[in-house]
Amino acid sequence: MMTGGGMNALRMLRGGTPTLLNVAVDQGEGPVVVLVHGINSSSKSWSHLVPLLSPLYRVIAIDLLGFGGSVAPATATFTLDEHVAALHATIRSLRLRGRFTLVGHSLGSLIASRYAAVHGREVSQVVLVSPPVYAEEAYLTDRTDRLAVKTYLRFFRFLRTDRDRTTRRLAFLDRILPGPGIVIEERYWRAFAQSMEHCIEGQTTLTDVAQIRVDVDVLYGVRDRIVLPDSIERLARLQNVTVHPVAKGEHSVLRPMALQIARVID
């Protein structure tokens, strides 16, 4: 089933508690799978996956704070904790019965990791898709790995501090890359820039994943330029983590990645 207008309208809970997010998709019956998209995107990025899951599962796709149909309050700074608090309030408002599988893509995978670390009793399985995990420099012994992380973080800082140039570049990529996921709208800028700074550049993902007590499946495309091999190796060493390379996979959730996600969901 699709959600009603009341759920699609963004609103604040009484008492100053976290904002409820837009539930863009709620369809199918069975065990619940919650989908959390990546940065500068919306729940439309799951268009290849939802049809694969909905015959067997209740599929819920939620727009992150400041993206898609989720308009953030003016006070939002888009920290990892703010994203998790808004996601948690939204999931609680759905009054789900039992635990659910949590799937996060890119930025969404970092949010999903923190969510599962903090609210572990609610989650039965975690699936991290194309996770942009970058270890702190102090933990990197290989010079090549240190250089790679520095380069990526420097590039991310450039993206969020040069608004005009970044907007032009993303608009160009939107025209030439296949599939959904790149949305160029001015109202997304603050969410994009501050989520980049506070969640991706200032992440604690390896620590969060280490605290998760259920199975964690990590999927990455072998053609993905955002995910570093060192990150995958570090995740693979953690307890309960299984890594799945996707031969024809990109960073986006196109059909090859969607098929593999559907296979690993319990």
What is the rounded (10 degree) CA torsion for 97, 98, 102, 108?
Answer: 50
**Segments making up each domain of the chain, as ranges:** 5-264
Residue scoring higher pLDDT (20 or 8): 20
Q: Say if residues 89 and 13 touch (Cβ distance below 8 Å).
A: yes
The sign of the CA dihedral 30, 34, 35, 40 is positive
Q: What percentage of the chain exceeds 90 in pLDDT?
A: 65
Could you say which of 3.20.20.70, 3.40.50.1820, 3.40.50.720, 2.60.40.1220 is the CATH number of the domain covering 5-264?
3.40.50.1820
Q: How far, in Å, CA of 54 to CA of 108, rounded?
A: 20
The string of pLDDT tens digits covering residues 148-184 is: 888 888 878 877 887 777 766 665 555 544 444 444 5
Task: Note the pTM of the prediction, 2 decimals.
Answer: 0.87
- How many C-beta neighbours within 10 Å does residue 128 have? 28
- Which tokens go with 205? 């993902």
Say yes or no to pLDDT of 6 above 50. no
Instruction: Return the half-sphere exposure (C-beta side, CA atoms, 13 A cut-off) of residue 120.
Output: 11
Q: How far, in Å, CA of 169 to CA of 184, rounded?
A: 10
CA 120 to chain centre: 17
Q: Cα–Cα distances in Å, from 153 out to 33, 84, 136, 198, 243?
A: 31, 23, 11, 12, 24
The string of pLDDT tens digits covering residues 56-104 is: 999 999 999 999 999 899 999 999 999 999 999 999 999 999 999 999 9
Residue-level pLDDT at 229: 87
Q: How far, in Å, CA of 234 to CA of 226, rounded?
A: 16
State phi, psi for 11 to the nearest 5 degrees.
-150, 160
pLDDT confidence bin for 7, thresholds 50/70/90 = very low
The string of pLDDT tens digits covering residues 93-105 is: 999 999 999 999 9
Q: How far, in Å, CA of 85 to CA of 146, rounded?
A: 32
